Amino acid sequence: MIEDLPGRYHEYLERFAKELGDVAVGAFAKFSGKLIKKLSFEEFTPAYLEYTEMADRYFESIERGDTINDVILRLIREQAASLVLKPPG
């Protein structure tokens, strides 16, 4: 579990402003070829937790030498884009 979600949200807001400029919460902007919504803290929290869980499982799979399905990679990339993050791998 992430111990500092307000801090992570603040980092997200800084990334969003740096990459996409001044966009109101709830408004949309284009990032990495995807239209993404600027999330409120209430929307960010479950999205961030889901992304960190997916990324953790992705890295565990890589360490085990598992084959990664293209659908999983697409989901991780989409979730990373929604959080203005560079996808893993």
Domain count, the chain: 1
C-alpha–C-alpha distance, residues 52 and 45, integer Å: 11
- Give pLDDT, residue 2: 64
- Give pLDDT, residue 70: 86
pTM (two decimals)? 0.85
Helix axes 70-82, 41-64, angle to 10 degrees: 150
Residue 73 lies in a domain: yes
Over the stretch 2-41, which tens digit does the pLDDT of each residue have? 679 999 999 999 999 999 999 999 999 999 899 999 999 9
Residue 87 lies in a domain: no
Residue 32 lies in a domain: yes
C-alpha–C-alpha distance, residues 25 and 67, integer Å: 38
CA distance readout (Å), 37 to 4, 43, 46, 59, 68: 22, 10, 14, 27, 28
CA atoms within 13 A on the CB side of 75: 14
The parent domain of residue 12 ranges over 5-82
Residue 89 lies in a domain: no
Residue 36 lies in a domain: yes
- Give pLDDT, residue 67: 85
Q: Cα 8 from chain centroid?
A: 11
Average pLDDT over residues 34-60: 95
Of all residues in the chain, the percent with pLDDT exceeding 90 is 72
Residue 88 lies in a domain: no
